[in-house]
A = this chain, B = another copy of it.
Amino acid sequence: MKRLSTFIILFLFAISCFADISIRQTFLKWELGYAKTASELPSKWIPALVPGAVQLDIAKAEKYEPYYYAEHWKDYSWMEDQFYTYRTSFPKPELNSGERLVFVSKGIDYQFQIFLNGKEILSQEGMFTPVSLDLTDQLKPENELKILVFPAPKIYATPIDRSQASHSVKPAVSYGWDWHPRLIPLGIWDETYLEKRPASFIEDFHVNYTLNQDLSKAEIKLELSGQNLNGLPFIWTLKDENGNEVLKSEGKTELSFANPQLWWTHDQGKSYRYTSTIQLLDASGKIIQTSESKIGFRRIRLVMNQGAWENFNGFPQTRSVPPAQLEINGRKIFCKGTNWVNPEIFPGIISRERYNDLLSLAKEANFNILRVWGGGIVNKESFFELCDEKGILVWQEFPLACNNYSDDAHYLSILKQESTSIINRVKKHPSLAFWCGGNELFNAWSGMTDQSLALRLLNSQCLELDPKTPFIPTSPLMGMGHGNYVFRDLETKEEVFSNMARAHFTTYTEFGMPSPASVEVLKTIIPKEELWPPKPGASWESHHAYKAWVGNTWLCQDIIEDYFGVSTSLEELVANGQLMQCEGYKCIYEEARRQKPYCSMATNWCYQEPWPTAANNSLISYPTILKPAYYAVKNACRPILASAKFSKFKWTEGETFFADLWMLSDLPTDIPGGKVKIKLVAGTSELALLSWDYNPMKANVNQAGPTSRCKLPAWSTDRFKVVLEVEGHPEYNSEYTFAYQPHSVERKRTTPAMNQ
């Protein structure tokens, strides 16, 4: 066994900026080995990327084909059942009097033991609870640190699916999903280093505040925890965005702060953040630790949706729906957003830059909320810092999804440990909108109920540790709409247009509209010989074009071709599929907005993807390749726009076409009235229909306009556009594309009577 010869010390500033004393963080060089059992020694050692994942290290060292190409992900499957050992060595550093050497890891996935010089110093299950081990008293001149990572947790050997994750707090998605291959990350997945700390040390600091009723004052409680803090003085200051000190405490933990600037989502105001600095002093008054963070003041509540108390369908009656209207700083807002999934299969390699790219795009798409879906991880700190900065709310789920998580004591104890870590970390961020127990847990395929102890525990944990943040046990709840995931229902064939017109929900928390990836993406994942025509059974299927969910998902070639005829090329199929994704998503986002104020939220399934799929509901292909639907949704989510409601997708010559005109506004301010013109465009033909003078628009209130009708003329195209133009405000313009069938007597006969 080769001894590690290199010991690299890097002096870096941590995520929190240390102003007076730099807490030294020493990043170590790691090696990785693996074996079939815990006791067996690894037969060889390979370089390890930390943070990373064991699979990536093996793939690199042993020259595996990339998992995202063709069906190579299958080559990685043996890796989920090995025992992995990370090892590193380092000399005992010089320590000043009282100074401690601490090994810190923000996350090791999933069950592991840590050994120092052959002696076990920690055994832990759970990837979200950071490790902080004081090594000082056990140091030798030369030290070896080992981390033994256990195989992926499985409650049973078969079936090989997500249900294997139902007894652990390991995100279930990696056990295989309808858009995620089976690839279960293991290993060190977040920042990991040695740190020299003073004898007295603040390990956790929280500015716990309560805003008074009219938001004019924050009552602040400073909460410090750490080592040997008893009786030591501290100084806390709050600085505004210009760097001016606005509040200071010398040792007092309770303070009032008058007239705080409030934190708002980006569409409602400024996402104002203050700089909080805590300094720990020793008995002589010397500063021994300085730590800075950004904080924001806001009050978030879930309140009853407007009109929801009045729903009464006679006796016997049941309860009213739970509240799903988000209120920030006393203002009810319409939430527009999306379902965020892991941006990487191996979360260890997600960087702040990767988060930033995706979150910047989310803000540009006019999204003010992300539902962080319970099948995935709880993201790293930089995710929340960026959401704070960009004014995007986070609906944060715990790592439970589509399983019946156990009532047993072991699982509950790990869930309690992990949720404590998660809550205490994430609650500090103003972007946190509410907690949620997990995904689809109260539906048949999960089988959990209100009696499930895991969900009662999470409710209890959130109440104890973060009582001012709302909690919901799962999504969907009563009155929340979930699905559909296709352009038209696979059984009833009802299209999204009529389905949404009939729907009456407090929120639309998940709705999907599939499309194939762009041709350029497809070429990077599907071998040339498989590209055309697409077929189940190989790379297309591995990349979720076939047999992903029910029906021919997610490619749905049959539905696409039912509207536009048999595709003659990959390019044509992709273009038509992507068009339908655009129109379907626009329909849902805009109809949800029209249903405001009873409806208060629309978040599509899903935003991005952790690897390149061949077909999916996502708006962005891996890693950050925008589909046309991204732009369509971005337009549908503009704060103000002209919108129209339609009854179906395909129209025929001579039929009476109609559209209900609307002006939609989620703006927090009033705007003047104006004029909307509607026209139809087919190829080079244009047909002007009515023009509507809309009234001045009240803040955050939509306006319904007239219904425009016309008999569809003869065109030679297979599609036409509806264009809404707002005089003097091209930024409010909208357009929609529909399928068109000329001269079709057959078709007319089967068209149902029009709703005039």
Contacts and interface: CB of A to CB of B under 8 A. Distances in A.
Interface of A: 301-304, 309-310, 312, 314-320, 322-323, 442-444, 447, 449-451, 453, 456-457, 459-460, 463-464, 467, 470-472, 474, 476-485, 489, 492, 499, 503, 505, 508, 511
Contacts of A301: 451
6 contacts: A312-B444, A315-B484, A318-B477, A450-B472, A456-B460, A460-B460
A312 B444 CA distance: 10
Contacts of A303: 449, 451
Contacts of A443: 317, 319-320
A508 B314 CA distance: 14
A499 B319 contact: no
Contact of A322 (B450, B453, B467, B472): B450
Contact of A449 (B304, B459, B482): B304
Nearest to A486: B315
A315 B584 CA distance: 15
Nearest to A441: B319
B444 A453 contact: no
Contact of A477 (B319, B472, B484): B319
B464 A460 contact: yes
B503 A316 contact: yes
A483 to B, nearest CB: 4
Contacts of A483: 315-317
B320 A442 contact: yes
Contact of A444 (B310, B323, B477): B310
A460 B466 CA distance: 13
Give 9 closest A-B pairs by Cβ, nearest first: A316-B481, A315-B484, A315-B483, A460-B460, A319-B442, A309-B444, A322-B450, A478-B478, A456-B463
A520 to B, nearest CB: 32
B317 A476 contact: yes
Interface SS majority for chain A = loop
Most buried by B among A478, A481, A484: A478
A456 B470 CA distance: 10
A444 B308 CA distance: 9
Contacts of A449: 302-304, 320, 322-323
A484 B316 contact: yes
Contacts of A314: 489, 492, 499
B471 A463 contact: no
Contact of A319 (B316, B476, B503): B476
A318 B464 contact: no
A320 B319 CA distance: 14
A450 B323 contact: yes
B453 A463 contact: yes
A258 to B, nearest CB: 21
A444 B483 CA distance: 28
Contacts of A482: 315-318
Most buried by B among A312, A451, A471, A485: A451
A303 B407 CA distance: 13
A210 to B, nearest CB: 10
A640 B480 CA distance: 41
A444 to B, nearest CB: 4
Contacts of A479: 318
Contacts of A456: 459-460, 463, 471
Nearest to A504: B316
A478 B508 contact: no
Nearest to A322: B450
Nearest to A460: B460
A478 B319 contact: yes
A233 B545 CA distance: 70
Contacts of A460: 456, 459-460, 463-464
A483 B472 CA distance: 28
Contact of A511 (B316, B477, B478, B484): B316
A508 B459 CA distance: 28
A460 B464 CA distance: 9
Nearest to A456: B463
Contacts of A457: 463
Contact of A451 (B302, B442, B450): B302
A294 to B, nearest CB: 27
Given A317-B443, A317-B481, 12 more contacts: A303-B449, A315-B483, A316-B508, A316-B511, A317-B476, A318-B482, A319-B474, A319-B477, A319-B480, A322-B442, A459-B459, A478-B478
Contacts of A467: 453
A555 to B, nearest CB: 20
Nearest to A480: B318
A427 B18 CA distance: 52
Nearest to A474: B319
A318 B451 contact: no
A447 B304 CA distance: 9
A419 to B, nearest CB: 13
B505 A316 contact: yes
Contacts of A310: 444
Contacts of A477: 318-319, 450
Given A316-B508, A319-B442, A511-B316, A451 B470 contact: yes
Nearest to A446: B320
A733 B443 CA distance: 42
A300 to B, nearest CB: 11
A625 B337 CA distance: 62
A477 B471 CA distance: 18
B315 A478 contact: no
Contacts of A463: 453, 456-457, 460
A629 to B, nearest CB: 19
A483 B511 CA distance: 35
Contacts of A320: 442-444, 449
Most buried by B among A310, A449, A456: A449
A39 B376 CA distance: 63
A482 B319 CA distance: 9
Contacts of A451: 301-303, 322-323, 470-471
A480 B315 CA distance: 11
A322 to B, nearest CB: 4
A508 B317 CA distance: 10
A69 to B, nearest CB: 34
A511 B316 CA distance: 8
A513 to B, nearest CB: 12
Contacts of A474: 319
A453 B481 CA distance: 25
A507 to B, nearest CB: 10
A481 B319 CA distance: 9
A319 B499 CA distance: 18
Nearest to A311: B444
A217 B320 CA distance: 42
Nearest to A481: B316
